[in-house]
Structure formats: structure tokens, C-alpha cells
Amino acid sequence: MKVQGIAASPGIAIGEVMRLQKIKHEFRRSVAAGEVAQEKARFSAAKEVAMADLEELKKRTAANFGQEKAEVFGAHQMMLEDPMFNDAVLEAIDARHASAEAAVEEAAEAIAGMLAALDDAYMRERAADIKDIGQRLIRILQGSAESAKLTGIVVAQDLLPSDTAALDLEVVTGFITALGGKTSHSSILARAAGIPAVVGVGQAWEDLQNGDTVIVDGHAGLVLVNPGDGELAEYRERKALEQAKAAEIASAAKLEGMTADGWRVEVAANIGIPRDMEKAAAAGAEGVGLFRTEFLFQERQAVPTEEEQTEAYSAVLRAMPDRKIVIRTLDAGGDKQLPFLGTLAEANPALGFRAIRLCLTYRDVFKTQLRALLRAGTEGNLHIMFPMIATLEELLSAKALLREAAEELAGEGVAHRADVPVGIMVEVPAAVAIADILVQEVDFFSIGTNDLVQYTMACDRMNEHVAYLNDYFHPAVVRLIAEASRAAQAGGKWIGMCGEMAGDPLAAPLLVGLGLTELSMNTRSVPQVKDCLRRLTLAQAKAWAGEILTLRTAGEIKGRLEAIAAELAGR
């Protein structure tokens, strides 16, 4: 059987399916009197498993994302032992003969309800934690695998950030998800980890059973279920060829990003946590074009302190003191809800209160981040970037606050760097339309294609039903990139790209031809994009870009770029 989905992360994986189960709600709700003791024993056994799982998650998260993020699982362990929760579960089993699952669900819901009604933001946050614990216990009672224990090809309806954080990327070799698009969290993570992935397979995910052999073709977005010997042999051979080619490209990864005729294009990394710098340097990244600072704020009750933030930003700058490091200010809201802001019900979160809009409202939170950035600026070549700019006023307000932060620090005699270059993400079509105005007020532009495509094509980047529109090769998007680049060049400023398109080797000739001089991407793509640049000349890239601007559809553009890639590969 073959299943067509969306190609989310290239490569070929061959392995066995392991499903990440969502909890099933059709469990028995009550048991016979004679089963009460057994249900209590099941609860207590599930608790032990949960405790051990949380311990494992804590260790893994500490190693991958730092001690601070790991603490949430320590808090979960404490809540698992909480007498109020335990008494409520045991009483429901004893007094009402509830099944262990039902008792856990009721107790967790009741306590969560109580906490959610409190006036204290910290306690309200605990409501989400107790629900999470309830879900974990029910999953264990239903005999489902924990995300932390998955191996092989992970099949899930969707992978939430907490699921993906828990995956052991050493033993997970591929992803298949029912939901999601090319730029959903799980896809970005898969690409960053170099794991082939197919997303958006829809209902077909129901048919994939544990133990099925599958081939994940992350190039074509295809899943082959229980393939025949011929298909297996063919894909094994393709996989071996890919590995050999990747080894060859990796061996040249430390060379400068440059075209064959010596035109310099910086090939930088997108990072999410300071620890990513090791991988970025190893992959040959020549700096950072996007440091998403959201990680510092997620899963936290309170805003991280200025000291904490200064330390995190300094760590990144210190890792590459001679390179350009672009740190983006907080891009919260939308699909990245932050606990300390509470939950905001918005009909259209992507069009709502996020990024710079939110920061210009929570000015104290924003100012703290700006102060921390300026303090860290003494450690290297810092560039500050504001997300989601749509108006000149937003940009001017953000810059005014940055100046205020610098003046405060100067007044307090705190060491900082006041003349940090400032840029904006070009990710709202309005910013392209007024790029000639905005360029007067910035040092650089960086195009965020993930959002630029979403807002240009009016298609939710998370919604697989409109995935056909989510295509950075659409002429509308390509023309906006060209327009932004023209404005940047006319204003004498550099322009780069940090959206996912920048890491697509197919796009590189086009982007260079359109005048971009910095491409920032997931670290895995760095060697490949550099390899592509080395096969190009600037004059040729410009000619190709001019030709591509006349094409009429995404299909035509992609087809032309594939032909160009094939020509380049032969050099």
C-alpha cells in the first residue's frame, strides 16, 4: 500500500512503525465490587511507571534543552505524589467503584478545575500540569507507549512540542503524522534533526499498525506500507547513494559560503537554544541568522530575569564571537502561547496578538529583553531583529524602547553595547509593500517565508487542508521576495532570509539571483546549500532569477529550479 502525504523532511527511512497513541476515551468507567483491589493496584503500578518515565524525561530534557526546562517534569513528579490527588483517586475507586482510568480522569479534572478558578496565575498554571499527569497515567493504564520510549518510525496523529521534546532522536528514524504541514513544529524538528518525515497523511494513519514495515520517502512525501522485496531493494540502494553523497558534501562544509565566481553569501544557522551552537559550528554555519528566543519564555510561570536572559544571549555570542549573530526579540502569541500571559481566546491567533504587537503592549517584558540583549552585545557581533513588523510606527516604537533601554543602562553604569545593528523580519506582506519606507529605519531585512507565505496566500501554515497553497515557490511569494530585495538594495542595506525556504537547496540559485546575501537555515542544510552555491555564478543566478520571475505557477517555478539543480549537480 502507498500513502501520499506532504514531504516534510527529505531523506529515506526504512523501519518498523511505532504508534504514539492518543488516549482513548472509551475506557470502562466502573468496575464490579470484586475488582476494586485490582483497580487500586493498577493505579499504583501506573504511578510507578509514570514516575520512572518522568525521571527519564527530566534527564533527556536537561541534556537537550537545559536544566530549567527539565524542572517542569520534577514538578510533575511531585504532583504525582500529591495526597489530595491520590486520595481523590483512591476514594473514587473505593466508594464509587470507578475504574482506575475514570478515577484518575475525574480527580485530575476536579483538581484542575479548582486550581483554574484561583486568582493566582501560578496556581492556574498548575491546572495544566495536573491534567497532563492525568493523561500520562491514563495512557499508561491503556498500555500505550510513551513518546520517550519510541523507536523506529514514529506514527502519530500529531506531534506536539512536548511530544517531540521527549523523543529520543538517536533511535527515532522517521516520522509520519496525520496532521501538520511543511512548517508545523514536527516538520521543522524533523528537518533540524535530519530525520525523514511525511506529514499530513490524514485518515491513512489509522491503518498503520505497530510492527508494519514502512518506507518513508521524505522527498516525495510518500509512505510505502509493507513494501515488496523489489521496492525494499530499490529504496535501500537509493538510501546508500544518498548517504555517500551526504558524506562528500559534509567534507566540504567548512569552506566559505561563496559562488564559483567568488560572490560571498553568508550561510548561517537558525537556532532555538544556546546549545544548538555546537551543532551549528560543526555543520559549518557562518553565524546565526535567527535565534528564536521563545524557548526562554516557554513553560515558565514568570518572565525570565534580565540576568538569565543576558546569560543565554551571551552564551550564543561567545560561541562565535567573530560572526554575525541575529537574535530575534520575543515572537510569542499565535501558536506559541506563553503561560505567563494566560490564555487568550482569539478567533484567528495567527492574525492576532503576537510578536511585536504583544511586546509593544507588554513593554516591561520587552524592555527587559532589550536590556539583556544590549548587555550581551559586548560579547560579540550582535544584531537585533524585530518580528512581524507591519507598520513604520511599530518599528519606530520598538527602536525608541531600545534607545530607552540603552539610556537606562548607561545611566546605571551597566556595561552594554548601544550601537547594535537593528533589522526586521519581512514576513507580513504589508512590510514588503512599504519596504522602501522601512528600509530607511533599519540596518537589514530578513525574510521569514514561513509567515510570508501564510499571510500572502491566506493559508494557515498548520492546516493540511490548504497545504497546496503553502508553497514558497508560488510566484506571488517569489515576486514579494524580489520586491523586498530591490528595496533593500536601493536603500543600501543587506537582505537575508531565515524562513524555511532559505534551507532549500533548490531555492538557492533563485535567492542569490534576487540579491540575497545571507541565507539562514536549519543546520543540517548548511553543507548542502554551500555545495549548491559553489556550483553557481552570480551572473547566471541573476539571469535565472529574471527568467523565473516571468513564470506563472509554483509548479513551473519548481520545475525550472529542478532543471537548474540537475544542471548544477552535473558540474
The single residue of 25, 185, 465, 532 carrying the catalytic annotation is 185
d(CA 166, CA 146): 9
The cell numbers describing 396, all together, are 519606530
Give the distance, in angstroms, between the CA of residue 514 and the centroid of all CA atoms in the same chain: 27
Catalytic option among 76, 459, 474, 498: 498
180 binds ligand PEP (CB under 6 A): no
Minimum distance, C-beta of residue 273 to Mg ion, in the bound complex (Å): 18
Total residues binding ligand PEP (CB under 6 A): 10
CB of 292 to Mg ion, least distance (A): 9
CA dist 55 and 43 (Å) reads 18
CA distance 421 to 289: 13
Question: Which of residues 173 and 450 has its CB atom nearest to ligand PEP in the complex?
Answer: 450
Minimal distance in Å, beta carbon 266 to Mg ion?
A: 20
Q: Which partner from the list Mg ion, ligand PEP, none does 274 bind, CB cut-off 5 to 8 Å by kind?
A: none
Tally of CA atoms within 13 A in the half-sphere of 370 that contains its CB = 29
Nearest to 325 by CA among 364, 267, 383, 260: 383
499 is a site residue for ligand PEP (CB under 6 A): yes
Could you say whether residue 292 binds ligand PEP (CB under 6 A)?
yes
97 is catalytic: no
Cα-flanking dihedrals φ and ψ of residue 486, to 5°?
-60, -45
Nearest Cα to Cα of residue 392 among 358, 367, 359, 424: 424
Cβ atoms within 10 Å of 560's Cβ, excluding its own: 18
Distance (Å) of CA 274 to CA 55, 371, 373, 527, 556? 23, 18, 14, 21, 40
> Per-residue contact track with Mg ion, 424 to 453, x per CB under 5 A?
---x--------------------x--x--
* CB under 8 A, 24+ apart: contacts of 559-567: 561/473, 561/506, 561/507, 561/509, 561/510, 562/506, 564/509, 565/505, 565/506, 565/509, 565/532
Give CA–CA dist 529/568, Å, rounded: 12
What the block records as the C-alpha cell of 112 is: 484542575
Q: Of 239 and 336, which CB lies nearer to Mg ion in the complex structure?
A: 336
- Please choose which of ligand PEP, Mg ion, none residue 323 contacts, taking the beta carbon within 5 to 8 angstroms, the exact cut-off set by kind: none
Q: How far is the CB of 387 from Mg ion (least distance, A)?
A: 6
The region of 45-53, 409-417, 449-457, 541-549 touching ligand PEP under the rule CB under 6 A is 449-457
What residue 498 binds from ligand PEP, Mg ion, none (CB within 5 to 8 A, per partner kind)? ligand PEP
CB of 453 to ligand PEP, least distance (A): 8
**Binder to ligand PEP among 99, 187, 329, 450 (CB under 6 A)?**
450
Q: Is 500 in the site for Mg ion (CB under 5 A)?
A: no
Closest CB to ligand PEP among 376 and 426?
426
Which residues, in sequence order, are bridge partners of residue 496?
446, 518
Verify binding: residue 152, Mg ion, rule CB under 5 A: no
Residue type, 230: G
**Contact between 276 and ligand PEP per CB under 6 A:** no
The amino acid sitting at 521 is M
Q: How far is the CB of 284 from ligand PEP (least distance, A)?
A: 21
Instruction: Examine residue 449 and tell whether it contacts ligand PEP (CB under 6 A).
Output: yes
Instruction: Sort 68 into a burial class: Cβ within 10 Å, 0-12 / 13-18 / 19+.
Output: middle
Residues binding Mg ion: what is the number (CB under 5 A)? 3
Residues 178-217 that bind Mg ion (CB under 5 A): none
Would you say 174 or 448 has its CB closer to ligand PEP?
448
Find which of Mg ion, ligand PEP, none residue 528 binds, CB within 5 to 8 Å per kind: none
Assess contact for 237 and 215: CB atoms under 8 A.
Answer: no
Cβ–Cβ contacts within 10 Å for residue 117, how many?
Answer: 10
Stretch that binds ligand PEP, among 404-412, 444-452, 462-470, 505-513 (CB under 6 A): 444-452
**Residue 391 DSSP symbol:** S
* Among the listed residues 10, 257, 274, 448, the single contact to ligand PEP using CB under 6 A: 448
* CB 189 to ligand PEP: min, Å: 12
CB of 550 to Mg ion, least distance (A): 29
Query: Is residue 498 annotated as part of the catalytic site, yes or no?
Result: yes
Pairwise CA distance, residues 501 & 506, whole Å: 9
**Contacting residues toward Mg ion, per CB under 5 A:** 427, 448, 451
Tell me the catalytic residues.
Answer: 185, 498
Residues that bind ligand PEP (CB under 6 A): 290, 292, 331, 427, 448-451, 498-499
